[in-house]
Amino acid sequence: MKKLLIFSLFLFLFYCSKENQLTIIESEVSLPTESNFILWNKSDKLLKIISKKLNKDFISFTMDRAFLSAAVSKPKVKYKIASFTFDESIVKKCNNQTISKIITTNQSIVIQGELKGDDCSSLYSIQFKIINDNQVEFDIQLTNKELNRIYLEYNAENDEQIFGFGEQFSHFNLKGKKLFIFTEEQGIGRGDQPITIGANIVAGAGGNEFTSYAPIPYYTTTENRSYFFENTSYSTFDFTDAGKTKVEFWEENLKGNIWVADDPLDLIQLYTEKTGRFPLLPDWAYGTWMGLQGGSEKTKNTVKEAMDAGNPVTVLWIQDWVGKRKTSFGSQLWWRWKADEKTYPNFKEFCTEMEQSGVKVLGYINSFLANEGEMFEEAKKFGYLVKNQKGEDYEIETAGFPAYLIDLTNPDAAKWTKEIIKKNMIEAGLLGWMADFGEFLPFDAKLHSGVSAELYHNIYPVDWARINREAIQEVGMEGKIVFFTRAGYSYSNKYSTLFWLGDQMVSFGENDGLPSTVTGMLSGGISGLALNHSDIGGYTTINNFIKDYHRSEELFQRWVELNAFTPIFRTHEGNRPEENHQSFTNPKTVEFFAKFGRIHFALKDYFKYLVDEAHKKGYPVIRPLYLHYPKDKNTYDLKKQFLVGQDILVIPVLEKGAEEVEGYFPAGRWENIWNNEFLKGGRRHTINTPIGKPAVFIKENGEWSEKIKNAIKESL
C-alpha cells in the first residue's frame, strides 16, 4: 500500500511538472538587470515592466512557470431570453511556454517563443510598448489561428484590492472573486430567494452574482494601477489567488493598456481619455422625470397634479408612446417605433403642448422589431434582420412574445434605423428616449459583416448606442436630446448620453433590489459610466403563489430618498403598474415625492458642476468613498453608501422596516442636513433615519458645502 501511494505521488508530480512549464533558452535570451522600464531580478526570476518616474509596476511576471498559455475548445452555450450559461470542452492545450528571444529598446520589450502541448503548438509574440510614464500598451499574438482560448497570468500584491468591471451589482471589491464578463440580462433575483429559484425553474433567468447588462474588462486596484483589455469575447478574471491574477479570453489574442498613477481619480481620467466621456446634459435634465403611461389625458393630468404639489417636473417619459399589449410578463410595449394614435392622438401636438408647459416628452425604442407590422415587413424584405445558422431571420424569444433583432453590422440596416429615429421620434417632438436592450444577440447568430457573433455580442450594445447618438448628431441636436441605455461594454461611455441600471426587482433584495443599485453605480462609475441612475421603485414585479413581489409604499419612499441624490430623478411604473405603489397613488405620496423632487432640483448647480467634471475628466457623479480616501482601508469594502462628488455623503436605508443605518464616515467632520449636527470622521456611526429623513451629510468646509446646505434649506 505504501509503495502504491509513493508511486501515485510520483505520477502526480511527474504529470504536474509537465504542465505550465516555462523554459528560457538562456543561450539566446539575456536581459539587462535594469533599463528604462524593465526590471529583471534574476535570482527571483521576476520580470517587471515599470514606471521609473512614478516608482510603480505596470505588470510583473514570476518566470518560474508559464504565464502565457492557450487552447482549442468547443464552447457549450445555452441561451434563453438573453440569459446565457457557459461551459466548454477543451480539445487541446498549449500550456508549456518557451522563451527563445527577448528584444528590448528604450520604448518596448518584445518576448517571443513557443507554446506547446500534446498535439498543440504555436509561436507567440508579446509586446509591451511604453506610451508615457503613466501608460503601457500590450499586444499578445499567436500564430496558430486554430487556438480559440488564451490565458495570461501575472502577479498581484496579496493585499491589493480590486474594483471596476463595469456594473457589478453584488460586489464592489472583487478581491478573492472569480468573475466573467459578458453582457446579458442581469437576471431576476441574482441570488435573492425565493425569486431566483423560481425564475430559473420557469425560464432559466435567475442570474447570479456576476450577471450584468454592462460588464467591462477594465479594473483598477489599490496599487493605483488599472488594466483595460480591448478584446470583445467572453472572458473570466480570477482573483482567488491573492498573489496572482489569471485572465482568460475566448479568442486567440490579447490587446490592451495598463495605466499607473498617484491617485485613483487620475486613473479614471487616463482611462476615459482613451475610451470616451459623456456629453453635458441639457438644462432640463435636472428636474423630476415622471415615467407614466396610459395616454395623453391621463399623463397630462398626473403631471399637473405633481406640479401643483410643488414638484419641479421637467420631463414626461412615456414608454408607451408606441402602444401597449398584455403578455404573461405584464404590461409590455409594441415594438414598432411610431406613435400610437389611439393612445396619443395628434402626437406631435401633444409633445408641443407639453413643452410649452415646461415639460419635455421622452419616449422609448429598442433594437428589436415585433414580428408583425410595416417596419418588420420592410426589414425582412431588405435583409436587415439578424440571421440564424440556416440563413433565416432569427426569431428570438423575449419575455412574452417573439421578435427579431436588427443586424447593426449591416450599414444599410443601421442607416434605416437612424432614419426611423429621426423621422418617427425626433421630428415627432421627442427630446429623448430609453434606448433599451442590446444584450440579446445569440451566440450562434449569423451577421451581415461576417464577423463572429461570439466576438460581436459584446459590441452590439455599443453599436446600438452609437447609432442612436449618430441620429441625433445628424439632425444637429447634439446636447439637446438625451437617450439612456442599460446594456453596454467597452467604449459605451463614448456613445451613450446617459446610463440607467436596468430592471431591478421591486424589493429590498441584496443582489437585485434597492441595495444593488448603489453597488452598480459605484462599480460602473469607476469603470467610466460616469452618468448613471436607476428606476425609482424598481421595475420587475412578480405575481407568484409562493411570494408576490409588489412595490410597497415603504420601498417607493426609500428609493425616492436615495435617487434624490443621484443625477437623474426618474420614476418607472414597472411591468405590472397596477400592483405597484406609484408616485401618484395617494395625496400623501404626491407630497412626499414633491418634497424630494425639490431637494433634487435644489442640487441642480452642484450636479451640473459634477456632470461637467464627468464630461471633462470622466469622474463619476456618484463615487465610492475609496476614490477620495484611497489610503483609508475602511473604504475598500463599502458598497452601501456613496459620495456625491466630494461634498455629500449618503448612507441610504436599504433594509425593509429599518429606521436607522450604520455607516462609515471618512476623515473630517460631516454635518447632518436635517439637524445640523456634526459627526467626526474616521469611524462608524449609527444614524436615526425615519422615513423622509435619510442619512445625508455635508462635508465641513467643502468647496460646495455652504451652497448645498443653503439650497436644500430653501427647498424644504
The residue with cell 479570453 is: 249
| β-strand partners of 155 | 244
**Active site residue: 167, 251, 436, 613, which one?**
436
Q: Is the dihedral of CA 388, 390, 391, 396 positive or negative?
A: negative
Report d(CA 343, CA 294) in Å as an integer: 7
CB atoms within 10 A of CB 377: 11
Read out DSSP for 145-212? TT--EEEEEEE--TT--EEESS--SS-S--TT-EEEE-B----SSTT-TTHHHHHHHHHS----TT-B
577 prior amide bond cis, ω within 30: no
Helix/strand/coil for 649? strand
**Active site residue: 184, 252, 503, 535, which one?**
503
Neighbouring residues of 28: CB distance < 8 A, sequence distance ≥ 6: 100, 101
CB 216 within 8 A of CB 527: yes
Read out DSSP for 269-323? HHHHHHH--PPPPPGGGGSEEEE--S-HHHHHHHHHHHHHTT--EEEEE-GGGG-
Whole-angstrom CA distances from 536 to 79, 114, 134, 366, 582 are 30, 55, 40, 21, 10
**Active site residue: 184, 192, 407, 439, which one?**
439
Q: Which 3-state string (H, E, C) describes 34-66? A: ECCCEEEECCCCEEEEEECCCCEEEEEEECCCC
Report d(CA 119, CA 185) in Å as an integer: 38
Residue type, 603: L
Report d(CA 715, CA 340) in Å as an integer: 38
The C-alpha angle 338, 344, 346, rounded to 5 degrees, equals 85
Report d(CA 586, CA 553) in Å as an integer: 10
The residue with cell 446646505 is: 709
Neighbouring residues of 298: CB distance < 8 A, sequence distance ≥ 6: 292
* Active-site annotation holds for 503: yes
* Active-site annotation holds for 439: yes
Q: β-strands 482-485, 432-436: how paired?
A: parallel
Report d(CA 209, CA 222) in Å as an integer: 23
| E strand spans, 440-479 | none
Active site residues: 436, 439, 503
